[in-house]
């Protein structure tokens, strides 16, 4: 996640809800299956 974290920008709304780029990446990794 260190490599991707700086590439993911959260919106103002996400920041207001305390959603971080780390949260977004966790969600992606939990959702997307490894081929």
Cβ–Cβ under 8 Å, residues 4 and 25: yes
Q: What is the mean pLDDT of each run of 10 residues along the chain (35 residues)?
A: 89 97 95 92
pLDDT score at 31: 96
Please report, to the nearest 10 degrees, the dihedral formed by the alpha carbons of residues 28, 18, 13, 7 taken in order. -50
CA torsion sign for 2, 6, 7, 9 is positive
pLDDT score at 2: 83
Domain boundaries, the chain: 2-31
Q: What is the dihedral of CA 34, 2, 6, 23, to 10 degrees?
A: 60
Look at residue 5 in the predicted model and tell me its pLDDT. Answer: 87
pLDDT of residue 1: 72
């Amino acid at each position: 996640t260190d490599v991707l974290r700086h590439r993911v920008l959260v919106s103002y709304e996400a920041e207001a809800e305390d959603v971080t780029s780390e949260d977004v990446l966790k969600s992606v990794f939990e959702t997307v299956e490894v081929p």
